[in-house]
A and B are shown apart, each in its own frame.
Chain A
Amino acid sequence: MRLNAGIPEGPIADKWTAYRSAAKLVNPNNKRKLDIIVVGTGLAGASAAATLGQLGYNVKVFCYQDTPRRAHSIAAQGGINAAKNYPNDGDSVYRLFYDTIKGGDYRSREANVYRLAEVSNQIIDLCVAQGVPFAREYGGLLTNRSFGGAQVSRTFYARGQTGQQLLLGAYSALSRQIDAGNVTLYNRRDVLDMVVVEGKARGIIARNLVTGAIERFAAHAVVLATGGYGNVFFLSTNAMGSNVSPAWSAYKKGALFGNPSFTQIHPTCIPVHGEFQSKLTLMSESLRNDGRIWVPAYKKDVDRLRSKEVKPSDIPDSDRDYYLERRYPAFGNLVPRDVASRAAKERCDAGYGVSSTGFAVFLDFADAIKRKGQGTIDALYGNLFQMYEQIVADSPYETPMMIYPAVHYTMGGLWVDYELMTTVPGLYAIGECNFSDHGANRLGASALMQGLADGYFILPATISNYLAAEIHTPRFDPDSSEFTLAAEKVRERLVRLKNTGGKQSVDHYHRQLGRLMWENCGMARSQPGLEEALERLPLLREEFHANVRIPGSLDEYNPELEKAWRVADFLELGELMVRDALQRRESCGGHFREEYQTPDGEALRNDEDFTFVGAWEYKGKSCAAELHREDLNFEVVKPSQRSYK
């Protein structure tokens, strides 16, 4: 299969304009006759469904939550980037583009990233018009802050709840379209399969989570906005219900999966405390603007800290190792996420970790409080400090926070072309669900930007180019044989899962999968570790299918059954991630192969052999997936070794 990204000709700054001028349109009378299914109601899904509804299409939107407002975009804390240059500190569309390409360690597509930077400003305008209460200056205009890895202040924020406010904005736009009758909402639905008719995506099979009914929905196009798959690690900052299943079913129906091994480990999360832990909580990266990260410089202090013989404040400055400031003097505590995470792991692996488990470093605000005053720090981070105190019963005003990296975001996802269409015609993937814009590492405050760019501006413009040829296609009958067959297959799989009749709970296997992925395909990967995972994963999968126990029945509200379906898919996805990590014999961004590092421990890219997107095609069995390459051409930015020193 030859992958064609369909990037428009012309200079990079003109591509998007040129594309839009040439794209086919659908006239308003015909839009009403076209049905579009949107799966997921996070920033990408809600904004897409609202905008498609506003354009006059007939939209059906699905979410597993009880209401669209709860999608996990809501938990994003820090902010959203845009190239407004309001602070007049030298920002521009080009710089945002350049920083994103570089931050992604030269593994993303230039044309997509430039377009993202280009539409970033429109997002801010629209959100403000919707009433999103961004932070403001006393003069009444919007204020910005700098955010991990950026030397300009381009991040717009709403206290530490930017994701919430943006999602509520998109949810309000969606609610308006629901009220107008342009969008129909299907909540508490798990989307379990895609229906492909004569090579085109024509609908979905969903399970009504309240009644257990298997439902069929037909449409002229299907848009997946189902987020990331970080929960393959069991412990992550994702919501409990976040899952890969709709994307995975698309993969099995012919959509390629791009760069599955590219996962982001966020440096500032609350450390793991015990074996019953169910999830990890992120502490916004914005904290690194004022917090200083350190561990003791001497082992003797490590032991005294762990045994609580001394307090962190008892360690004098000269006996502390501010390792990010030491290793990266130019960026210090503001290095990109992958660099900060690996540096924390390096110190903890070397035995300098500070909590009782040994897997934590300090994030210290004492200097910032002295310099700016407690009031200022409180205004900037008050809600985050409260959240931290609520979880660990310790006040960051008095004693440094303890943090450790945790799985946070997945850059990999369904492969899409410039139009955000997967390799299945009529099937689109937007937001975190696709692989497209962040390369091997995502910069802070760029996920919100991408989700909304895709949903409000890009997809609504590209989907008409496909639908223009569909205006003569009558509405599909969800009782046709293709739908019936797909629904039967879903039911069979559910029955098989339910009737396994084993002894262990779903969580039992999910935890094992998570541990295996974290140890062998997490922050640092090696050939022996990945090969070991490839041996163990099929065994774990077999054991799951032989010995899982699912209480209750199919035809009722049954959360264990929901989990089982999701974990069964994660068990397959894990193997694909490992295969992808194994084939990529280089280190780039969040993908760190121990064999490929510079003498001072930095990621060593291999541009000659690996400047490509690894896109995997399903071939019936997990072990038979076939790798295709989309070569990346850097015409504008010349790849160089990332340096934050």
Chain B
Amino acid sequence: MNYTLKIWRQKSAKERGEMVSYQVSGISAEISFFEMLDILNQQLIAEGGDPVAFDHDCREGICGTCSLYINGRPHGPVRGVTTCQLHMRSFSDGEVIHIEPWRSKAFPVVRDLVVDRSALDLIIQAGGYVSVNSGGIPDANTIPVPKHHADTAFDAAACIGCGACVAACPNAAAMLFVSAKVSHLSLLPQGKAEAVKRVQKMVARMDELGFGNCSNTYACEVECPKLISVTNIARMNREFLSAKLFSEKEKIVRDSI
């Protein structure tokens, strides 16, 4: 099959970028989207041109490195998959495919389709953990967790931190990402002890870093390759509100009743 690719080219964060057209031909429907870009890059290198830079690593849908905005959608047209799991059979012969980087103030472009998502790390550093040291831990089975809670926590913990939610959001909000981590930890007894501080610190950091506000468009859920649910945002809002309303001490007392 043949495709026309319109790809965002930008030398560095400081320079201006533009869309550039390329042709690729003889592409098999079975190969992955990245293998198609590999072919383009081999073509460009052979011609003495500059290959297109794009982020990718595991190529099996779990590391969260890949980050292409394809035909106006993060990770392309197929629901619930990352770009690396996208195959050319999802595109029709002769199609024009637009490929852009994630667009968000908090994700500056590094080069071409590669962006800097360090802001997501900074949010986790603000409190996305349970503060335990590696010594003197009681036996794992001393903390029973109802299966339903463990499963729901897992659903939230499945977030791969790719940033598609930010790219999809008209406000470039990181609410789905942050709420997934807040939910994961607040649903488990291990995470309860510092739940109040955690949600406050993570939300404050998110605001500092230039992410927008949530206006409930739910585009994030639709585009999330791991199908993380917006109910996590509702849960985070509740956590945040109750953290505001009650002091930590009151909350612990309330939770234990």
Interface centre among A51, A185, A557 (most CB of B within 10 A): A557
> Is A187's beta carbon under 8 Å from chain B?
yes
Tell whether A75 pairs with B63 under 8 Å between CB atoms, given A86-B141, A133-B150, A172-B128: yes
> Is B71's beta carbon under 8 Å from chain A?
no
A601 to chain B, nearest CB (A): 32
> Is B89's beta carbon under 8 Å from chain A?
yes
Which of chain B's residues has its CB closest to A128's CB? Answer: B140
Interface centre among B46, B125, B126, B153 (most CB of A within 10 A): B125
Evaluate contact between A552 and B121: CB separation under 8 angstroms. no
Give Cα A277 to B59, complex, Å: 11
Tell whether A559 pairs with B51 under 8 Å between CB atoms, given A137-B147, A172-B129: yes
Evaluate contact between A74 and B137: CB separation under 8 angstroms. no
CB under 8 Å from chain B, chain A span 154-191: 158-159, 161, 164-165, 168, 171-173, 175-176, 178-179, 185, 187
Q: Interface stretch among A119-127, A298-306, A470-478?
A: A119-127
Tell whether A136 pairs with B140 under 8 Å between CB atoms, given A171-B124, A560-B51: no
Which of chain B's residues has its CB closest to A125's CB? Answer: B137
Evaluate contact between B38 and A507: CB separation under 8 angstroms. yes
A278 to chain B, nearest CB (A): 5
Evaluate contact between B61 and A387: CB separation under 8 angstroms. yes
> Is B35's beta carbon under 8 Å from chain A?
yes
CB neighbours (8 Å) of B59 from chain A are 239-240, 278-279, 281
CB under 8 Å from chain B, chain A span 53-108: 54, 65-72, 74-75, 84, 86
Give Cα A139 to B61, complex, Å: 32
> Is A274's beta carbon under 8 Å from chain B?
yes
Evaluate contact between B158 and A161: CB separation under 8 angstroms. yes
CB neighbours (8 Å) of B191 from chain A are 131
Evaluate contact between A457 and B140: CB separation under 8 angstroms. no
Evaluate contact between A457 and B134: CB separation under 8 angstroms. yes
> Is B235's beta carbon under 8 Å from chain A?
no
Return the CB mask of B118-132 against A: 1 if under 8 Å, else 0: 101100111111111
Give Cα A176 to B185, complex, Å: 14
CB under 8 Å from chain A, chain B span 177-235: 184-185, 188, 190-191
Evaluate contact between B62 and A74: CB separation under 8 angstroms. yes
Give Cα A239 to B34, complex, Å: 13
CB neighbours (8 Å) of A158 from chain B are 154
CB neighbours (8 Å) of A138 from chain B are 147
Give Cα A164 to B160, complex, Å: 8
Give Cα A273 to B87, complex, Å: 13
Give Cα A556 to B10, complex, Å: 12
Q: Tell me how many residues of B have a C-beta within 8 Å of chain A.
A: 76
Evaluate contact between B58 and A551: CB separation under 8 angstroms. no
Return the CB mask of A502-538 against B: 1 if under 8 Å, else 0: 0101010000000000000000000000000000000
CB under 8 Å from chain B, chain A span 29-72: 51, 54, 65-72
CB neighbours (8 Å) of A179 from chain B are 125-127
Give Cα A240 to B42, complex, Å: 16
Give Cα A187 to B118, complex, Å: 9
Give Cα A158 to B184, complex, Å: 13
CB under 8 Å from chain A, chain B span 44-70: 44-46, 48-51, 53, 55-65
Evaluate contact between A175 and B134: CB separation under 8 angstroms. no
Return the CB mask of A456-477 against B: 1 if under 8 Å, else 0: 1100100000000000000000
Evaluate contact between A391 and B140: CB separation under 8 angstroms. no
Give Cα A126 to B87, complex, Å: 39
B251 to chain A, nearest CB (A): 18
Which residue of A70, A122, A142, A279 contacts B64 across the interface (Cβ within 8 Å)?
A70
CB neighbours (8 Å) of B120 from chain A are 67
CB neighbours (8 Å) of B53 from chain A are 557, 559
Which of chain B's residues has its CB closest to A277's CB? Answer: B35
CB neighbours (8 Å) of A560 from chain B are 45, 51
> Is A566's beta carbon under 8 Å from chain B?
no
CB under 8 Å from chain A, chain B span 6-37: 11-12, 28, 30-32, 34-35
Give Cα A458 to B134, complex, Å: 12
B56 to chain A, nearest CB (A): 6
Return the CB mask of A554-594 against B: 1 if under 8 Å, else 0: 00110110000000000000000000000000000000000
- Which residues of A line the B interface, CB within 8 A? 51, 54, 65-72, 74-75, 84, 86, 122, 124-131, 133-142, 158-159, 161, 164-165, 168, 171-173, 175-176, 178-179, 185, 187, 210, 237, 239-241, 273-274, 276-279, 281-282, 387, 390-391, 393, 456-457, 460, 503, 505, 507, 549, 551-552, 556-557, 559-560
3 A-B pairs with least C-beta separation: A140-B144, A172-B129, A133-B154
- Jot down 12 A-B pairs with beta carbons below 8 A, ordered by A: A65-B57, A67-B118, A68-B121, A69-B121, A125-B138, A176-B125, A179-B127, A276-B28, A278-B38, A278-B59, A391-B85, A551-B45
Q: A126-B132, A175-B125, A176-B131 are in contact. List 15 more A-B contacts (CB 8 A).
A: A72-B57, A129-B138, A131-B184, A131-B191, A140-B146, A140-B150, A158-B154, A161-B62, A172-B124, A240-B59, A279-B59, A456-B134, A551-B50, A557-B53, A559-B53
- Which residues of B line the A interface, CB within 8 A? 11-12, 28, 30-32, 34-35, 38-39, 42, 44-46, 48-51, 53, 55-65, 81, 85, 87, 89, 110-111, 114, 116-118, 120-121, 124-134, 137-141, 143-147, 150-151, 153-154, 157-158, 160-161, 184-185, 188, 190-191
